[in-house]
Structure 1
Amino acid sequence: MPIKKSDLYASIWKSCDELRGGMDASQYKDYVLTLLFLKYVSDKYAGDPSALLLIPNGSTFDDMVELKGNPEIGDKINKQIIAPIAEANDLRGVIDLTDFNDDEKRGTGKEKVNRLSNLIGIFQDANLDFGQNRAGDDDLLGDAYEYLMRNFATESGKSKGQFYTPSEVSRILAKVIGVESADSPSLTAYDPTAGSGSLILKVADEAPVDITIYGQEMDVATTALAKMNMVLHNRPEAVHDIMRGNTLADPKFTEQGSLKRFDFVVANPPFSYKAWTNGLDPENDPYNRFEGFGIPPSKNGDYAFLLHIVKSLKNTGTAAVILPHGVLFRGNAEGTIRKNLIERGYIKGIIGLPANLFYGTGIPACILVLDKEQAGSREGIFMIDGSEGYLKDGNKNR
């Protein structure tokens, strides 16, 4: 029976109450989502030698339950539960980044023992049996991540919600690139700012065949989240195609010194990223991403990400990118780049989105739809005003 989201959210809320003492909201997610992952893979795969993931003896969630009350519970979770699963499934640097024995965050002595024991107890809830549940269309980690950001962004004062693309927006991007017409597993999709992986997974879900997906993410913890999300969606093969690093300065997907090219690209880059030139000399870009278009302003990376995407598209490829409205009308260097993109016919359409959709910013955004295959014969650009198409959801729009 599928997990009820209401049960999942209630458990997350209780978990965060247990964790409040030493951390702010931006850190809660690492512990809660790691524990959610461990519970999920244990329920799904423990005792099945042919399963997608191997859960070693002594490392199941039931074994974690046996640690409740143990004076060394934090150390044993790290070494007896997480480390063997990471080792057996080549997930080192993914699920072992969160330290359950961190005295600074978890407290010391009896306080730490009680907190971790209570945290495990919350996930013992009979309503959270993932054994018969398939992730299917439900982005369990992504939904949990969005829930955490929605409830704690104001508390934390430093929301990391920009790393999650709301599912409704992800669905639009997946549909406008035409991935539903994919007819071969050899087709590829790429997200250069992958965040939690929810967007590229939505693209894969829309495809009628199992296309190959790739992603790159700069944040260490968020890269781990994306890799866990791949496993939760029965795509463990994609774990090693989610890479960590700065996409602009150090793109991980290259072929013979050039950027690898993809059939489909989707992205929700950080809006107006000021530090986009860190580690990169745009005048001497080894991948020639700005050649023929112009170099974006040094303190605004919107067009830097867009030109990276253009260069990463095959000549028959399509892309959809979320960017702030400013890309449509800002002048100077950006005006020149925009003019060159339009003259080459690469911009197929523009969809205006409602304001206040994303966590971490309330500014209005748009979706730029790119299409290289029909660029030579393009005579116009379709425009859709979706700015009023939303529902209020607390202090956010959906």
Structure 2
Amino acid sequence: MSNGDLNWIANFIWGIADDVLRDLYVRGKYRDVILPMTVLRRLDAVLEPTKQAVLDMKVSLDKAKIVHQDQALRQAAGQAFYNTSKFTLKDLKARSSQQQLRADFEAYLDGFSPNVQDILEKFEFRNQIPRLSKADALGTLINKFLSPDINLSPNPVKNNDGSMKHPGLDNHAMGTVFEELVRRFNEENNEEAGEHWTPRDAVKLMARLIFLPIADQIQSGTYLLYDGACGTGGMLTVAEETLQQLAAEHRKKVATHLYGQEINAETYAIAKADLLLKGEGDAADNIVGGPEYSTLANDAFRSREFDFMLSNPPYGKSWKSDLERLGGKEGIKDPRFMIQHAGEAEYSLITRSSDGQMLFLANMLSKMKHKTKLGSRIAEVHNGSSLFTGDAGQGESNIRRWIIENDWLEAIVALPLNMFYNTGIATYIWVLTNRKPAHRQGKVQLIDATQWFKPLRKNLGKKNCELSDEDIRRICDTFIDFKESEQSKIFPNEAFGYWKVTVERPLRLRVDLDPKSLSAFRAACVDEDEEPLANVVERVAASLGPGPHLSFNTFMEAVEADANEHGVKLTAARKKLLKDRLAKRDEKAAEIIGKTYKPGKVKPDPLRGLFEATVDGKPCVVEYEPDTELRDTEQIPLLEEGGIAAFIRREVLPHVPDAWYVPESVKTGYEISFTRYFYKPQPLRSLEAIRADILALEKETEGLLGEIIGGSGR
């Protein structure tokens, strides 16, 4: 059947909505009736030849008191679904009473197999029946779908003379018609479309990016495909078609099994219905969904591994409720998100609760095959935040680090702006595999495809462009060629990594013991009920003098001696009070010594905060107390020549010679900046061009001021 014929059928069904539902539903709600009715009419037509066999089998099973009847009834129907009611839609066509029609139609729906019941429940189709019946529209709707002008049956319809009136509609053609209806409804409701439906051009590109590189390695056999946010199932079906086509071109026979999970009830129903309509009953059983089936909180395929995975997860969407169901940030133990990596037994991939998109990628990575020749290949759509959000040690950065250090990331493709229906933001396709070819190992390719697109003649929501077949071919050729160009950059894995290092400077405090300072300190001690400490300080002041004293260590030694002599215990709280209320920061003051070590026990290393000093006349190695107000961090590239030490010497010490870094603070992070790698500065305008513009403006405004002033006197 030609595409023109299929479009005619889709147009006919589309017209039913206008004919029957126009005054009954707002346009955006037509889908609530038309999509499930299309499914019902197709299933009804497919089941007609075996209707009596199913009824007979039902009687036999009931008579034998067999409880589990599903498989037997499927066999009797010759399909992955069945209907045990005594009605077909044609039987209902003759009902003159709306009340009787409603009762019989509900009985007809109740007769369907559990998988179809699931679809009807998720469509919430039964909720539409009272409204349709009350408006006397249910019978009209059924009659329209049974019109002799259209054939939704797999069997051909002939004229009285035996000539062909309507060819049969095979499963693939029916699936195409249904997908076309879904596409039109999504475009009608374009404000919602992007949540559940990825544009077909983007899906075609994703499928080619995962299959083309290994097309000549595909062997005859069975392959499993998975989408953890499958929406209406379009990615899975396009990927399946692409794999089948490439396999056929290489004279291979492959069987495919589709698996998907979707939280939105209606789109899950569409995905499952589409597969049933295409005759893929087993695949339909492998689509799981509804509000209770969040992929993050309730993984439906925990023990499965897949050959190929594609997804467009929700981005910028909170997953806080899923996080709570998983035990909260501190209690989560899910092995998809708490893993072992880089020597850490509990390496956390948990992202911010405000955006869970990267966790969908972690979920797919947990399902890779590691013992097969091809391993697994993945393509997933993300927005720009997945490239750089999350500091070193945080979930998003940890996921990027885990991926890149395992050498799974092949490429990231920047897509044109305004390609999706409900957003104009930048989007990217991540391409991953655990079987990189030798020439890609240790490297990542970035492709800037933002300028490769074809404008749409009419905007669909915010979507104003699409990828033509030529654009898709160009992107795939760039990916497979793996060469440097203006749009293709290739980097070693380490180019995206960095060390986040804490840089410290010593705390330098001076102490003033003049009458004004002592009075203020006593007042603070009264407030804190610490008068004994004030007495100690006043005695020390009498001994040392008013100051200023530039060695806080010397001052504290005098305080400790006096406190011991007078039985005053120097608690941590009292020491803090001395620092907070009596001491003041001063760059000219001496460093405050924290720990001391004997020479030889610890080697001095000023870069790491271990300095040579003399204490009580003896040489030793000391650690200075850091000033938290001067604490800073540096982001140092992993490819920095000489590493952290060389960077500190070159970039930090010339400005603050007393600085050091804390080795224990070092964290490794990863981020990817397309802007940095593909930035093209705009050339500055010449002075001549600027001067010409100024002269032109002066000429345009010549005499304008005079007119304004002259006009004000009128």
> Fold conserved (TM > 0.5)?
yes
Aligned to 1:121: 143
Distance 1:36 1:169 in 2: 27
- Residue by residue over 1:203-262, the C-alpha shift from the partner in whole angstroms, topping out at 9 and shown as x without a partner, is 22222312221111112222222111111122101122111201000101123xxxx221
From 389, 403, 426, give the equivalent of 1:341.
403
* 1:255-334 alignment, distance < 5 Å: 255=303, 260-275=304-319, 278=322, 279-280=325-326, 281-283=328-330, 284-291=332-339, 292=347, 294-315=349-370, 316-332=375-391, 333=394, 334=396
Change (3 A) 1:249 1:27: farther
Change in CA separation of 1:73 and 1:391 when aligned onto 2, cut-off 3 Å: farther
**Structure 1 contact 163–222 (Cα < 8 Å) conserved:** yes
User: CA shift at 1:107, angstroms?
Assistant: 5.7
In structure 2, the CA distance between the partners of 1:261 and 1:46, relative to structure 1 (3 Å rule), is: same
CA distance in 2, matches of 1:103, 1:200: 30
> Secondary structure of 1:177's partner?
helix
Counterpart of 2:298 (choices 247, 250, 260) is 250
TM-score, normalisation: structure 2: 0.49
Pairwise CA distance, 1:74: 3.5
Q: Name 2:415's counterpart in structure 1.
A: 353
Q: Which moved more, 1:211-220 or 1:21-30?
A: 21-30
- How far does residue 36 in structure 1 lie from its aligned partner after superposition? 0.7
Aligned to 2:183: 146
Question: How far apart in 2 are the matches of 1:108 and 1:95?
Answer: 17
Preserved contact between residue 21 and residue 30 of structure 2 (Cα < 8 Å): yes
**Partner SS for 2:363:** helix
Q: Give CA-to-partner distance per residue, 1:43-64, whole Å, 9 cap, x none.
A: 3342146642445574433234
Which has the higher mean CA deviation after the structures are superposed, 369-378 or 265-274?
369-378
TM-score by length of 1: 0.85
Give the counterpart of 1:83 among 103, 110, 114: 110
The separation in 1 between residues aligned to 2:449 and 2:148, in whole angstroms, is 42
Change (3 A) 1:248 1:19: same
Matched to 2:20, the amino acid is: E
Confirm or deny: 8 A CA contact 1:135 1:232 kept in the other structure: yes
User: Does residue 1:241 correspond to 2:294, yes or no?
Assistant: no
| CA-CA distance at 1:126 after TM superposition | 4.0
Alignment check: 8 A CA contact 2:85 2:107 kept: no
What does residue range 210-249 of structure 1 map to in structure 2 within 5 Å?
210-244=255-289, 245-249=293-297
Q: Which segment drifts farther, 65-74 or 202-211?
A: 65-74
Kindly indicate whether structure 1 or structure 2 has the higher relative contact order, using CA contacts under 8 Å at least 6 residues apart. Answer: 1
Residue 176 of structure 1 is aligned with which of 209, 219, 224?
209
Tell me the distance in 2 between the aligned counterparts of 1:230 and 1:269. Answer: 21
Structure 2: how far apart are the matches of 1:141 and 1:236? 16
Question: What aligned pairs does 1:102-121 form with structure 2 within 5 A after superposition?
Answer: 102=127, 106=131, 109=134, 111=135, 113=136, 115-121=137-143
Answering whether residue 467 of structure 2 is matched by residue 395 of structure 1, we say: no
Give the 3-state SS of the residue equivalent to 1:360 in structure 2.
Answer: coil
Deviation, 1:368, is 0.6
Aligned mates of 1:285, 1:184 — CA distance in 2: 39
Offset of residue 35 of structure 1: 0.7
Q: Is the deviation greater in 340-349 or in 65-74?
A: 65-74
Q: Tell me how far apart the structure 2 counterparts of residues 328 and 341 of structure 1 sit (CA, whole Å).
A: 12
Q: 1:57 to 1:339 in 2, by over 3 A?
A: closer
**C-alpha separation between the residues in 2 aligned to 1:197 and 1:240?**
13
- State the identity as a percent: 21
**Is 1:42 aligned with 2:29?**
no
- 1:185, CA displacement in angstroms? 4.2
Give the whole-Å Cα distance in 2 for the aligned partners of 1:6 and 1:27.
Answer: 22
Secondary structure, counterpart of 1:269 in structure 2: coil
CA distance in 2, matches of 1:83, 1:232: 19
CA distance in 2, matches of 1:265, 1:276: 25
Aligned residue-pair number = 384
Is the deviation greater in 387-396 or in 227-236?
Answer: 387-396
Indicate if the aligned counterparts of 1:272 and 1:300 stay in contact, CA closer than 8 A: yes
Could you say if the C-alpha distance between residues 68 and 5 of structure 1 is closer, same or farther in structure 2, counting changes exceeding 3 Å? farther
SS of the residue corresponding to residue 384 of structure 1 reads strand
Shift of residue 29, structure 1, vs aligned partner: 2.0
Partner of 1:192: 228
Residue 163 of structure 1, aligned match among 196, 212, 219: 196
Gapped regions of structure 2 (runs ≥ 5): 51-75, 154-167, 245-253, 340-346, 467-714
What is the one-letter code of the residue matched to 1:298? Answer: S
Displacement of 1:306 in angstroms is 1.3
Which of 447, 451, 454 is the equivalent residue of 1:384? 447
RMSD of aligned C-alpha atoms?
3.0
Q: Unpaired segments of 5 or more residues in structure 1?
A: none
Q: State the alpha-carbon separation in 1 of the partners of residues 227 and 307 from structure 2.
A: 11
SS of the aligned residue for 2:112 comes to: helix
Contact 1:353–1:385 (8 Å) recurs in 2: yes
C-alpha offsets along residues 174-224 of structure 1, whole Å, 9 cap, x if unaligned?
222228554354321111111111211222222231222111111222222
Query: Take 1:253 and 1:103, find their aligned partners in 2: how far apart are those partners?
Result: 33
What amino acid maps onto 1:92 in structure 2?
A: Q
